[in-house]
Structure 1
Amino acid sequence: MASKPHQLLLSRFLLALSLAGTATAAWRASAAGPAQQTALFSEGFLPLHSEFRGQAALRDLIQRLPKAELHIHIEGTLEPELMFALAAKNGVELPYTDVEAARAARTNFTCLEDFLRMYAAATKVLITEDDFYRLAQQYLARAEAENIRAAEIFFDPQGHLARGVPLETVIRGLSRALAESPVEASLLLCVQREFGAKAAAEALTRAIPYLPKSVIIALGMDGSELGHPPRNFVLAYGEAAALRLHRVAHAGEEGGPSYVREALSLLGAERIDHGIRSLEDPALVAAMVKSQVPITLCPLSNLKLQVYKGQLEDRIRQVLASGMRVTINSDDPAYFGSYVSGNYEWVARIAGLGPDSLAALAANSFTSSFMPQVKQQEGEWVAAQKPE
């Protein structure tokens, strides 16, 4: 997480611990070759860290650790059960016979484009304010159950606007759920690359009337990277800066390290979403280590979408050992098979991480947040969960 040992805000829980040393040892221990991905939880596992007496102990610690989630798409939390309930309510026909058929279909995509098509089709059931409220309410209940204390949640307005759903409907429904939840939560308006640069700026402009009375704190960008480099979206990000919104961008998932460079230098991105392909440019990694700009890693998303097919475990170990500020997130958990705790567990198993390293990852999730109240409470939250 850092290029040299440093203190994180962990009070009596973490003092001057560096994840880099633990992860580097794990990475070197696995130098026999890249692990083969054969299942959601792959054969690339290292032995459990010596401080865990079994898988249950690892899961218990992950559950007890307070966490923040910084890369979560609310539309990507639409579970098949809720999708069918909303489809029946709104008279929307689905291409699946039942919930199980829909769930099975979500195991069949093998690339980002396949996933995005399925994702867009499912959102057609979201029509009323109450639909968006129920969607966010369901995610936040799950987040609370996994001891997520804070969440910065993406929503994609352009797809809903294209279907004739008013922006106010989306924002009001999501905001109502956020206001009722004990999880500290905010929204990030995410423009979709495939709609184009002009449409991105227009989407942000349409949101301006709602900014003073909503919980929107940042502009983000998602969708297919290839053919849509960050430099195309300078106008929208310039407007976001003028509005004093934070700025993040998906980069370095499909696109190479040049996409990360452009997001940082041209868009002013304060966090990089995914960012795993930064590893292909050592100079970029060195710059990100120096600046400590966070990356919101989504391990099981990368696994499911076959990013670095056959080599992902090694790449994750390299990211952890690099000194970059890394956070762990679930991306679109209703499609990728696990929420944030499952992502922590998978990373712990492929890198042999122990309690201190997992706590450092959790601490990074708080220090990388844009919400001041979250930064202020981070040390207190994490310190309260000292391992036995």
Structure 2
Amino acid sequence: MPSTQIPNIDRLRALPKAEVHAHLEGCFEPSVLEQWAAQAGVPMPRPRDRLFQFEGLADFLHFLDWACGLASTRDRLAELSYGFSKLLSESGAGYADVIVNPTHWKAWHGRLPDMIASIDAGFTAAEQDGLPPVGLCVSLLRSQSSGAAAELVDALVALRHPRVVALSIDGNEAAAGRTSSRFAEAFRRAGAAGLRRTVHAGESSGPEGVRDAIELLGADRIDHGVRAIEDPGLIELLVDRQIPLGICPTSNLTLGVYPSIENHPIDRLRRAGVAVSINTDDPLLLGASLMGEYALCSKAFSWSEDDLRALARNSIDASFANTDAKASLIQALSNW
């Protein structure tokens, strides 16, 4: 195949890669939500055929609270986790870091160990069935207090569950404002305890959110980070420290961060030397697949197979997979 020809979807599916920015909250099937809502006697926010039509980030986040509120039992949470592993396998990914934010799951408030055990049960069953391994990034909501952040870190450190690989933070930056200083101590303690640190920034905030995540929270990885393109000095910082960005193109388009893929800065960031990876964010809610994201960008930016291989390598390197899992994926990538 000539290097300028865009690979077909099957070849992109076969590309060995990792997913480093996906939310368990974004993996609900519409039919499952409809069934659970009927069983609970809870009204649907919209008819099923328009259930995933969002008016913006705020509407999207409200929907997450509604959907997660229906996942009220261990079996439902395990079923959802198993379903994510199936999606991962179908996309050709060999590993994922998946984010879960306990604040969205009202049935599990005050029951974090049980919640993590239920999620772990689904992922463990999936791995036993030959599906890819998954690491769990437990996330703060940006509007929480410093006390709540400390409480979550204390709980994670005490639990030391092998499924949990990182502390995360997500939520609407535009609504919450510059928040990193509030969580600096919690992230410092998480890092000292051996947890990795990943931070949503530079989506609904400008580049200052990304800089805060690096300088105040010690971020090992930035989720989104696309608006770093607006600050040349920040791009230099990302390149110098090799802090990767977990970018989700369809999410950025659907939620109005950029008007079109041609306007999206992922290729400019890549060409500037930033370690960017391609991800789905909330795959089922946004109608995104991992190989579809690679196809979208490959067509828009005329990426060669060498470019795609480099991007897949970025995803593996940026992941919080263990050494053996990374080595296996890297070896498979060399044979692609």
Q: Does the TM-score normalized on the shorter chain lie above 0.5? A: yes
Residue in structure 2 matching 1:83, options 22, 33, 54: 33
Give the 5 Å matches for 1:308-319: 308-309=258-259, 313-319=263-269
Structure 1 residue 75, shift from structure 2 partner: 1.0
Give the 5 Å matches for 1:56-75: 57-75=7-25
For structure 2, the residue ranges without an aligned partner over 5 or more in a row are none
Structure 1 contact 128–169 (Cα < 8 Å) conserved: no
- Aligned counterpart, 1:301: 251
Residue in structure 1 matching 2:71, options 126, 132, 151: 126
- Aligned counterpart, 1:251: 201
Residue in structure 1 matching 2:134, options 143, 168, 185: 185
Structure 2 contact 167–198 (Cα < 8 Å) conserved: yes
Aligned length in residues:
328
Structure 2 contact 139–169 (Cα < 8 Å) conserved: yes
- Aligned counterpart, 1:383: 334
Is 1:51 the counterpart of 2:5 in the alignment? yes
Instruction: Select the structure with the greater relative contact order (CA < 8 A; seq sep ≥ 6).
Output: 1
Structure 1 residue 163, shift from structure 2 partner: 5.9
Quote the Cα distance in structure 1 between the aligned partners of 2:273 and 2:304: 17
Is 1:358 the counterpart of 2:300 in the alignment? no
1:149 counterpart SS class: strand
Give the 5 Å matches for 1:155-304: 155-160=100-105, 164=109, 166-180=111-125, 181=127, 182-211=131-160, 213-226=161-174, 227-304=177-254
- Aligned counterpart, 2:324: 373
1:285-310 CA distance string (max 9 Å, x none): 01211221110001000000110335
Quote the Cα distance in structure 1 between the aligned partners of 2:41 and 2:142: 26
Q: Which has the larger radius of gyration?
A: 1
Distance verdict in 2 for CA 1:310–1:378, change over 3 Å: closer
* Amino acid in the other structure paired with 1:108: F
Quote the Cα distance in structure 2 between the aligned partners of 1:92 and 1:132: 19
Return 169-178 or 226-235, whichever deviates more.
226-235
1:260-315 CA distance string (max 9 Å, x none): 11111111100011000001110110121122111000100000011033576342
1:199-222 CA distance string (max 9 Å, x none): 2222222333322x3310110000
Structure 1 residue 322, shift from structure 2 partner: 1.6
2:200 counterpart SS class: strand
Structure 1 contact 73–331 (Cα < 8 Å) conserved: yes
For structure 1, the residue ranges without an aligned partner over 5 or more in a row are 1-47
2:246 counterpart SS class: strand
Residue in structure 1 matching 2:96, options 142, 151, 163: 151
1:128-150 CA distance string (max 9 Å, x none): 11111000101101111221100
Return 253-262 or 228-237, whichever deviates more.
228-237
What is the aligned-residue identity percentage?
A: 30
Distance verdict in 2 for CA 1:311–1:184, change over 3 Å: closer
Distance verdict in 2 for CA 1:265–1:308, change over 3 Å: same
Structure 2 contact 34–48 (Cα < 8 Å) conserved: no
2:233 counterpart SS class: helix
Structure 1 residue 121, shift from structure 2 partner: 1.2
Structure 1 residue 51, shift from structure 2 partner: 2.4
Distance verdict in 2 for CA 1:273–1:331, change over 3 Å: same
Q: TM-score, normalised by structure 1?
A: 0.79
1:94 counterpart SS class: coil
